[in-house]
C-alpha cells in the first residue's frame, strides 16, 4: 500500500482570505438581495427596490444631448494630428488637456470660489483608488486615519484592506446634526494615543455620505486648526460637491485655504471623481489633488497602478472644458436633486418621520429610532431586515456606516432616471400597503 | 471553449443595479416632468409609511421610549486587519526607517517612492520625456530607447478607430452601460471572452483559455501588484530571475512591501534559469529569515528577450511544487514569431497538458497585457489568468482599485470582434517588429556590439562590456551617462535590471521609425 504524501495546499496572503473587504456587511448584502431579485415594473413587480445605491442618474439626458450635438463636430477620433499623441499614449502624468479640464470643472463646481492648478491634479481610476492611494502615501501599516461617523461603508475596505492602516472613528451624534466637534476630535485622538496608535490624518467627506449634508465652514476651520496643531494631514473627499443643492451652501476646504493664503495647505489633500456628479461610474475617473509637492509626486508615480485609459481622458477633456455645457449641467443637476430630495423629505415629515436636514448628495438620512424596540443595533438590523424582505426595499442601515446612534437609515433617491422615479416610488408604496394589510390580517 | 455567461445580477460580488431586462434605452422624450404626479406620490408615501410603522410596532411593543442620543462612548477602533500590528517591525526593513518626529511627513512607503529619482532608469525616462527627439522639431533631443512601447503599428489602430467609432457607438455605450451602473470590476464578459480568444491565438491554438478564469485590470503593473497582495504578506519575498525589468521593483515593493530575491542568470548559459540557482536563492532567503511565497518569471524574458524552454518550465514547476510556492508568469510580451527555433511555450500549456496532474494548478497565475502585443498603449488593459478560485475571488474585489474604463472595454470588444482586423494586425505588426529588430540588431553588430538572440521582441539585450572601463557597475553607469548626456540616447543599463554581469544594456527600438535607426546607431557609435 503506497503511502500517500499530502502536499500542503499553497498558501495565500492574509489579505486574500481576510474579511477586511467588508463585503459581508448588511450594506453589501442588501445589494446582493437586490441583485438576486431586482424589481422590474413588468417582469418582476415583487422584486427588491433599490434605494441603497448612491448613484446619480437624474441628469443623464443632459449628457446624452451634449454628446449628440457635439461629438460629431468635435470629430472625436478624426483629429488626425491630435490622435496619435493624445489617444494612444501612456504616461502617468495624464493628458494635459484632461488635467486642465478637470481643474476647470472642479473650479466651476465650487462656483469659482477656489482655483485649481492642473499640475496638482493626479489621475486615478476612480475615487476608490484615490482614497487608497492617499492612505498608502500618508500612513504606514498600523497607523491610523481618523474618520467622522457615520461614514461610507466602503472606507473600511478602501482605507484599510491593502494598506494595513486603521480607522479611528470620530463620534458624531444627532444632538448637533452629526457635525464634527473639537471635543470629538480630541477624544478620538487621545483614545488612539492611549492605545499607542499613531494618527496620521483626518479624512472627511464633504458633502457627507451618508448624511447628505455639507460640512460647515466653521467646522472646516476647526479641523484645519486641529490637524495643524497635531501636525497631521487632512483629506477631504469632495466627490459629492456637484450634488450640493445650493451652490452657496457648499464650502470646499480649497476655499478655506485660499482665504488664508494657503497657510498650512501642504497638509491638505482633496479627492474628487466624476462618478457621482456626472453619473459616469463606469469610466473610472478619479483624482487626487494635493497642495503638497511630495504627495503630488508620489501619487503621480503610484498612479501607475491605477491609470485612466487615454481614450477616456481624450473623450472627456473636450466635454469638461466646454464651460457652457458644464455650467448648465451643474445648475440643472442641482435643481433636480433638490426637487427629489424635497419630495421625499416633505412626505416623510408629514408622516412624523424625521430626516436629518440635508442640503446635498444623492440620499437622505432617515431617523427610524423612535420605532426601535430598544436603542440597539440589533433592533436596527431587525427593522432593516423587515424592510428588505417584507417591504422589498433596499436601504442602508446606519450601523454599517458605524453610526453611534442606532435607528438611522440612508435612502438613495437619485439612482433611477426621472421616468422611473415615479413608478418606483409608487411600487414602494404598494409594497408598504400590502405588508401593512398582511399585518392587519394576522393581528 | 465553454462560454460562461456572466449575468451581473447573479454575481454577488458586483454592485450592478440593472438587469438585462432593465437595460431600456431611455428615450429623451419620455422623461417625466415630475410635477403633479410627484406631489401626489409625495403624500401617499408618508401616509403609507405612517400606517405601516404604527401598525407594525404596535404589534411588537406598546410603548417605545424615544431613544436619547447616546453619550460620548469611547470610540471603538475598527480592528486592524489580521496580522497588521505585529508586522509593523518587519516592514521597516523594506522601506527606509523613519524618524520619530515629523508626523505630517509622508509615510515610509512614500519615502521609498520619492527616492526613486536616484535610479538611472527613471532619470533617463524623465529626461527623455522632457527633451524628446523629433526629426524636424527637435533633432538634438534625446532618443528614447528606454521605454518598452510598441508604436510601429499605431497607424493601423488609428485607422480602425477612426472608421469604426462614431458618436452613436459612444452614445449607445453611455446609454446602455456607461451611465446606468457600475460594471463588474473585473471586466465585462465580452472582453474577457475576446481576451481569452486572443490568448489562445498567441499560443497558436494549443491552449484554450476559459474566460471565467480571467480578470481584467488597468494594465500589467496593477495585475502584478494585485497578485502579490493576494499571494504574500508584507515582508514576504518572491524569487525573481535576474536580470529583470526595473518596473518589477516598483510593482512588488512599493505598496505591497514584498522583497525580491534575485536569482542570477548568466550569459555563459544564455541567461537560462536553473534549478541550482533557484535553490541557492531560496536558501539565502531562508538564512535571512524571509518567507518565500513564490517565483515571478517573465516569458519571454524582459530584458533578455529569450523564451523559456519547455524543460525550464517543467524544472520550475518541479521546484515550485517541492517548495510549495506560487508561480507568476508574466507573458505580456508573448507573441507569435516566425522563427521556429524560438518557439514560445506558455505556462498554461504545460499546466493544461496531459501529464500535468502532478502540478497543482492553483499555484500558477499568468499575466497577459494588451499594450505590447496588440500595440495598444493607452488602453491600459492587463489580464490575470488563474485557476485558483480564492485568488480570483479576492482579485475581483481588489479590482475596484484598478479597473478598466467601460469605454475602453467596449472599444476593445469591438476591435477584437473584427477578427479580420485582428488577424491582419498581428501579421503586419509582427513583420514590422521583426524588420526593425533585424535592422537595429544588425546595426549594433556592425558597431561591434552583440545582442542576445531573442524571440523578436520589442527590445534587444546588448553586450557592451567591451566598451566599459572599468569592467564594473561603475564603468557601466559611466557609459550610460555618456549615452544619455553626451550623445542623447536613453537606454537601460543592466544594473537597473539587477544583472550581475556589468556591461549589458537594454535597447527598446519599437518607438523608432526606420529612418531614425541610422541616427541612433551613429550616436551610439560615438561613445564606443
The pLDDT of residue A108 is 93
Would an 8 Å CB–CB cutoff place B6 in contact with chain A?
Answer: no
Q: What is d(CA A244, CA A216) in angstroms, rounded to the nearest whole number? A: 13
Which of B110, B183, B326 has its CB closest to that of A298? B110
Which of A87, A198, A352 has its CB closest to that of B50? A352
Sequence-distant (6+) residues with CB within 8 A of A73 are: none
The pLDDT of residue B3 is 36
Q: Is the Cβ–Cβ distance between A141 and B90 less than 8 Å? A: no
Q: Is the Cβ–Cβ distance between A40 and A47 less than 8 Å? A: yes
Which of A306, A352, A415 has its CB closest to that of B17? A415
Catalytic residue list of A = 152, 237, 239, 276
Contact between chains at A140 and B32 (C-beta distance less than 8 A): no
The pLDDT of residue A19 is 67
Would an 8 Å CB–CB cutoff place A343 in contact with chain B?
Answer: yes
Would an 8 Å CB–CB cutoff place B76 in contact with chain A?
Answer: yes
Reduce the DSSP state of residue A243 to 3 states and report it: helix
> Of chain B residues 43-62, which have a CB less than 8 A from chain A?
43-53, 55-57, 59-61
Question: In terms of C-beta distances under 8 Å and separation of at least 24 residues, what long-range contacts does A42-46 make, across chains too?
Answer: A43/B19, A43/B21, A44/B19, A45/A427, A46/A392
Core vs surface per residue A400-430: b (16+ CB within 10 A) or e? bbbbbbbbbbbbbbbbbbbbbbbebbbbbbe
Q: Which residues of B touch A43 (CB under 8 A)?
A: 19, 21
The pLDDT of residue B17 is 35
The DSSP string of B72-133 is: -PPPPPBPPPTTTGGGHHHHTTTSPPPPSS-TTSPPHHHHHHHTGGGSHHHHHHHHHHHSB-
Contact between chains at B53 and A371 (C-beta distance less than 8 A): yes
The pLDDT of residue B483 is 95
pLDDT tens-digit profile, chain A (443 residues): 444 444 445 778 888 877 667 677 777 777 788 888 888 878 887 888 888 888 888 888 888 888 777 655 444 444 444 555 555 556 778 888 899 999 999 999 999 999 999 999 999 999 999 999 999 999 999 999 999 999 999 999 999 999 999 999 999 999 999 999 999 999 999 999 999 999 999 999 999 999 999 999 999 999 999 999 999 999 999 999 999 999 889 999 999 999 999 998 999 999 999 989 988 878 889 999 999 999 999 999 899 899 888 778 887 888 898 899 999 999 999 999 999 898 888 777 776 778 999 999 999 999 989 888 899 999 999 989 888 888 788 889 999 999 999 999 999 988 877 777 767 766 766 666 666 555 555 43
CA of A41, closest CA in chain B: separation in Å?
10
Core vs surface per residue A88-117: b (16+ CB within 10 A) or e? bbbbbebbebbbbbbbbbbbbbbeebbebe
Q: What is d(CA A411, CA A406) in angstroms, rounded to the nearest whole number? A: 15
Residue in B154, B294, B128 with CA at minimum distance from that of residue B224 = B294
Q: Which residues of A touch B88 (CB under 8 A)?
A: 140-142
Q: What is d(CA B81, CA A161) in angstroms, rounded to the nearest whole number? A: 7
Q: What is d(CA A317, CA A96) in angstroms, rounded to the nearest whole number? A: 9
Phi and psi (nearest 5°) for A46?
A: -100, 15
Q: Which residues of A touch B181 (CB under 8 A)?
A: 55, 281-282
Residue in B503, B514, B509, B486 with CA at minimum distance from that of residue B147 = B509
CA of A193, closest CA in chain B: separation in Å?
12
* Whole-structure pTM value: 0.82
Strands (E), B136-257: 143-144, 214-217, 237-242
Q: What is d(CA A52, CA A210) in angstroms, rounded to the nearest whole number? A: 11
Would an 8 Å CB–CB cutoff place B371 in contact with chain A?
Answer: yes
Q: What is d(CA B408, CA B414) in angstroms, rounded to the nearest whole number? A: 10
Q: Which residues of A touch B106 (CB under 8 A)?
A: 137-138, 292, 294-295, 298
Sequence-distant (6+) residues with CB within 8 A of B13 are: A23, B184, B393, B396, B397
> Of chain B residues 392-421, which have a CB less than 8 A from chain A?
394, 397-398, 400-408, 411
Q: What is d(CA A357, CA A366) in angstroms, rounded to the nearest whole number? A: 10
Going from the C-alpha of A34 to that of each of A76, A209, B14, B15, the distances in angstroms are 38, 21, 11, 9
Q: What is d(CA A77, CA A75) in angstroms, rounded to the nearest whole number? A: 6
The pLDDT of residue A128 is 93
Task: Convert the pLDDT of each residue in B172-215 to its tens digit.
Answer: 555 554 444 556 777 888 889 988 888 887 777 888 899 999 99
Phi and psi (nearest 5°) for A21?
A: -65, -15
Query: Which residues in chain B come in under a pLDDT of 70?
Result: 1-104, 116-117, 165-183, 335-342, 354-356, 371-378, 455-456
Sequence-distant (6+) residues with CB within 8 A of B3 are: B193, B211
The pLDDT of residue A332 is 94
Q: Which helix (H) or strand (E) holds A375?
A: none
The pLDDT of residue A433 is 63
Q: What is the DSSP letter of B1?
A: -
Would an 8 Å CB–CB cutoff place B20 in contact with chain A?
Answer: no
Grid cell 534587444 in the structure block, residue = B460
Which of B229, B255, B379 has its CB closest to that of A13? B229
Which grid cell is A177? 446634526
Q: What pairs with residue A355 in β-bridges?
A: A366
The pLDDT of residue A203 is 98
How many pairs of residues across A and B have Cβ atoms under 8 Å apart?
A: 452
Sequence-distant (6+) residues with CB within 8 A of B388 are: A12, B361, B362, B363, B365
Grid cell 508615480 in the structure block, residue = A301
Q: Which helix (H) or strand (E) holds A62?
A: helix A60-74
Amino acid at each position: 500500500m503506497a503511502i500517500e504524501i499530502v502536499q500542503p495546499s499553497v498558501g495565500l496572503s492574509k489579505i486574500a482570505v481576510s474579511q477586511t473587504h467588508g463585503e459581508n456587511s448588511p450594506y453589501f448584502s442588501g445589494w446582493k438581495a437586490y441583485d438576486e431579485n431586482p424589481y422590474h415594473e413588468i417582469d418582476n413587480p415583487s422584486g427588491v427596490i433599490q434605494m441603497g445605491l448612491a448613484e446619480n442618474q437624474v441628469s443623464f439626458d443632459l449628457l446624452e444631448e451634449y454628446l449628440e450635438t457635439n461629438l460629431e463636430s468635435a470629430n472625436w477620433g478624426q483629429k488626425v494630428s491630435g490622435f496619435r499623441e493624445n489617444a494612444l499614449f501612456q504616461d502617468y502624468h495624464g493628458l494635459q488637456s484632461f488635467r486642465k479640464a478637470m481643474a476647470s470643472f472642479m473650479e466651476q463646481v465650487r462656483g469659482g470660489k477656489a482655483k485649481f492648478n492642473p499640475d496638482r491634479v493626479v489621475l486615478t481610476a476612480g475615487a476608490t483608488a484615490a482614497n487608497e492611494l492617499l492612505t498608502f502615501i500618508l500612513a504606514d501599516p498600523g497607523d491610523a486615519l481618523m474618520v467622522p461617523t457615520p461614514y461610507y461603508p466602503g472606507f473600511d475596505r478602501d482605507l484599510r484592506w491593502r494598506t494595513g492602516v486603521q480607522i479611528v472613528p470620530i463620534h458624531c451624534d444627532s444632538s448637533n446634526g452629526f457635525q464634527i466637534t473639537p471635543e470629538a476630535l480630541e477624544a478620538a485622538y487621545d483614545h488612539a494615543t492611549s492605545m499607542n496608535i499613531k494618527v496620521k490624518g483626518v479624512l472627511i467627506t464633504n458633502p457627507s455620505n451618508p448624511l447628505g449634508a455639507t460640512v460647515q465652514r466653521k467646522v472646516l476651520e476647526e479641523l484645519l486648526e486641529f490637524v495643524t496643531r497635531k501636525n497631521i494631514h487632512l483629506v477631504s473627499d469632495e466627490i459629492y460637491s456637484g450634488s450640493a443643492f445650493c451652490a452657496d451652501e457648499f464650502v470646499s476646504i480649497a476655499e478655506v485655504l485660499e482665504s488664508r493664503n494657503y497657510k498650512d495647505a501642504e497638509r491638505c489633500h482633496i479627492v474628487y471623481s466624476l462618478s457621482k456628479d456626472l453619473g459616469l461610474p463606469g469610466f473610472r475617473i478619479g483624482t487626487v489633488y494635493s497642495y503638497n509637492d511630495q504627495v503630488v509626486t508620489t501619487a503621480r508615480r503610484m498612479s501607475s497602478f491605477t491609470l485612466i485609459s487615454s481614450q477616456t481622458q481624450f473623450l472627456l477633456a473636450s466635454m469638461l472644458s466646454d464651460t457652457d455645457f458644464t455650467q448648465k449641467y451643474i445648475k440643472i443637476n442641482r435643481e433636480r436633486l433638490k426637487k427629489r430630495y424635497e419630495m421625499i423629505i416633505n412626505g416623510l415629515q408629514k408622516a412624523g418621520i424625521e430626516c436629518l436636514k440635508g442640503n446635498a448628495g444623492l440620499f437622505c438620512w432617515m431617523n427610524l429610532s423612535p420605532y426601535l424596540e430598544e436603542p440597539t443595533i440589533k433592533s436596527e438590523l431587525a427593522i432593516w431586515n423587515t424592510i428588505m424582505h417584507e417591504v422589498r426595499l433596499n436601504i442602508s442601515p446606519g450601523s454599517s456606516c458605524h453610526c453611534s446612534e442606532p435607528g438611522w437609515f440612508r435612502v438613495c433617491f437619485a439612482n433611477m432616471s426621472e421616468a422611473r422615479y415615479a413608478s418606483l416610488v409608487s411600487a414602494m408604496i404598494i409594497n408598504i400597503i400590502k405588508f401593512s394589510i398582511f399585518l392587519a390580517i394576522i393581528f | 471553449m465553454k462560454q460562461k455567461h456572466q449575468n451581473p445580477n447573479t454575481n454577488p460580488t458586483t454592485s450592478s443595479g440593472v438587469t438585462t431586462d432593465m437595460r431600456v434605452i431611455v428615450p429623451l422624450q419620455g422623461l417625466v416632468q415630475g410635477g403633479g404626479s410627484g406631489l401626489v406620490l409625495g403624500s401617499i408615501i408618508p401616509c403609507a409609511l405612517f400606517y405601516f410603522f404604527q401598525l407594525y410596532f404596535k404589534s411588537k411593543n406598546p410603548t417605545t421610549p424615544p431613544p436619547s442620543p447616546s453619550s460620548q462612548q469611547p470610540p471603538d477602533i475598527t480592528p486592524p486587519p489580521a496580522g497588521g500590528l505585529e508586522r509593523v517591525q518587519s516592514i521597516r526593513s523594506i522601506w527606509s526607517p523613519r524618524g520619530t518626529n515629523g508626523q505630517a511627513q509622508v509615510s515610509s512607503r512614500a519615502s521609498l517612492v520619492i527616492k526613486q529619482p536616484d535610479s538611472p532608469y527613471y532619470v533617463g525616462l524623465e529626461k527623455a520625456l522632457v527633451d524628446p527627439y523629433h526629426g524636424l522639431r527637435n533633432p538634438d533631443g534625446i532618443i528614447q530607447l528606454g521605454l518598452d512601447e510598441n508604436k510601429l503599428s499605431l497607424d493601423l489602430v488609428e485607422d480602425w478607430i477612426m472608421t469604426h467609432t462614431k458618436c452613436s457607438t459612444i452614445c449607445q455605450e453611455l446609454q446602455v452601460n456607461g451611465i446606468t451602473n457600475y460594471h463588474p470590476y473585473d471586466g465585462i464578459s465580452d472582453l474577457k471572452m475576446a481576451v481569452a480568444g486572443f490568448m489562445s491565438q498567441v499560443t497558436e491554438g494549443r491552449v484554450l483559455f476559459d474566460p471565467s478564469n480571467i480578470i481584467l485590470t488597468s494594465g500589467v503593473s496593477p495585475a502584478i501588484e494585485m497578485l502579490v497582495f493576494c499571494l504574500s504578506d508584507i515582508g514576504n519575498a518572491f524569487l525573481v530571475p535576474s536580470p529583470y525589468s526595473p518596473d518589477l521593483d516598483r510593482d512588488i515593493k512599493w505598496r505591497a512591501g514584498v522583497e525580491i530575491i534575485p536569482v542570477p542568470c548568466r550569459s555563459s548559459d544564455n541567461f537560462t534559469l536553473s534549478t541550482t540557482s533557484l535553490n541557492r536563492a531560496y536558501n539565502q532567503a531562508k538564512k535571512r529569515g524571509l518567507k518565500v511565497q513564490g517565483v515571478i518569471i517573465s516569458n519571454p524574458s524582459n530584458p533578455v528577450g529569450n523564451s523559456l524552454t519547455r524543460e525550464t518550465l517543467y524544472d520550475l514547476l518541479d521546484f515550485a511544487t517541492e517548495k510549495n510556492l506560487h508561480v507568476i508568469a508574466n507573458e505580456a510580451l508573448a507573441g507569435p514569431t516566425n522563427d521556429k527555433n524560438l518557439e514560445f511555450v506558455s505556462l498554461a500549456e504545460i499546466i493544461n497538458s496531459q501529464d500535468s496532474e502532478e502540478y497543482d494548478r492553483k499555484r500558477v497565475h499568468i499575466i497577459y497585457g494588451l499594450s505590447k502585443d496588440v500595440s495598444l498603449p493607452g488602453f491600459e488593459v492587463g489580464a490575470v489568468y488563474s485557476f485558483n478560485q480564492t485568488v480570483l475571488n479576492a482579485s475581483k474585489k481588489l479590482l475596484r482599485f484598478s479597473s478598466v474604463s467601460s469605454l475602453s472595454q467596449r472599444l476593445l470588444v469591438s476591435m477584437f470582434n473584427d477578427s479580420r482586423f485582428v488577424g491582419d494586425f498581428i501579421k503586419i505588426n509582427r513583420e514590422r517588429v521583426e524588420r526593425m529588430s533585424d535592422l537595429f540588431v544588425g546595426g549594433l553588430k556592425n558597431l561591434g556590439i552583440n545582442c542576445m538572440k531573442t524571440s523578436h521582441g520589442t527590445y534587444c539585450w546588448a553586450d557592451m562590456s567591451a566598451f566599459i572601463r572599468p569592467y564594473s557597475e561603475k564603468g557601466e553607469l559611466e557609459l550610460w551617462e555618456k549615452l544619455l548626456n553626451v550623445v542623447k540616447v536613453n537606454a537601460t543599463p543592466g544594473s537597473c535590471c539587477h544583472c550581475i554581469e556589468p556591461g549589458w544594456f537594454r535597447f527598446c527600438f519599437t518607438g523608432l521609425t526606420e529612418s531614425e535607426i541610422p541616427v541612433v546607431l551613429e550616436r551610439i557609435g560615438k561613445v564606443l
